[in-house]
Amino acid sequence: MNCIIIDDEAAARAIVAQLCTTIPDLDVIEEFSNAIDAIKFLNQQTVDVVFLDIHMPGFTGFDFVQTLKNPPKIVLTTSDTNFAIEAYEYEAIVDYLVKPISPERFSKSIKKVKNSLEKQAALSSSEENAGSIGGELYINIDRRLIKLNFDEILFIEAKGDYIDVKTTKENHRVHNTLKKIREKLPEDLFLQIHRSYIINFTKIMDIEDNSVLIEKNVIPISRSNRPELMRRLNLL
């Protein structure tokens, strides 16, 4: 696990760096006296955690967090106790250390960082909001992994940067693409019949002209996908 330290006071940076040496698998790869230089560094490098002072000239710690598009885990290090509540409004901030920082408190903070990274890795293993295990599909909604059985899924519709997964019970909106979720679905059950739709082939109730009926939903069939649909049908 690697980290950087951002603090406008050299002595404060040295203290945090010394505390980092007490954690066997934590490496300090860079130190910064201002947030701007740190942002430039993070545009080129990836780190696991940032130890960040709140009060710095011209650019505060909160300014820093808001500027980063995909911030690493943040541990605030400050002498000011007045911003603890505000700090936890930021998803990236996992802890709030008040100076002077004791080794015991620092160790607890590192445990929080590791737990947060482990949870993030578990979500990432679902491959950006979707993954399949056996006859099940897991979708990630608001950091919750929701299990759907394949036979519950009626169809999936693309909606811009999102997809709607329509099931026999309810509708789920997921930040993902039709292409990615198609790769997770078994080909013997699911078929893309339109650039915006994947259907559960077994749920078709009727086919008329250039559309299929699944429950009460009329779904269009594109000209390019129609031959594969017809090939799949058990025609008399």
- The string of DSSP letters for the chain reads -EEEEE-S-HHHHHHHHHHHTTSTT-EEEEEESSHHHHHHHHTT---SEEEE-S--TTS-HHHHHHH-SS--EEEEEES--TTHHHHTTSTTEEEEEESSPPHHHHHHHHHHHHHHHHHHHHHHTTTTTEEEETTEEEEEETTEEEEEEGGGEEEEEEETTEEEEEESS-EEEESS-HHHHHTTS-TTTEEEEETTEEEEGGG--EEETTEEEETTEEEE--TTTHHHHHHHS---
Let me know whether 20 and 116 are in one domain.
yes
Among the candidates 61, 93, 124, a domain finishes at 124
Let me know whether 72 and 185 are in one domain.
no
- Determine the structural domain holding residue 186 and report its residue range: 130-232
Let me know whether 163 and 177 are in one domain.
yes
State the average pLDDT over residues 174-180.
90
Let me know whether 111 and 14 are in one domain.
yes
Among the candidates 124, 144, 176, a domain finishes at 124
pTM to 2 decimals? 0.56
The pLDDT tens digits of the residues spanning 4-46 come to 999 999 999 999 999 999 999 999 999 999 999 999 999 899 9
pLDDT at 161: 86
The pLDDT of residue 217 is above 80: yes
Let me know whether 88 and 151 are in one domain.
no
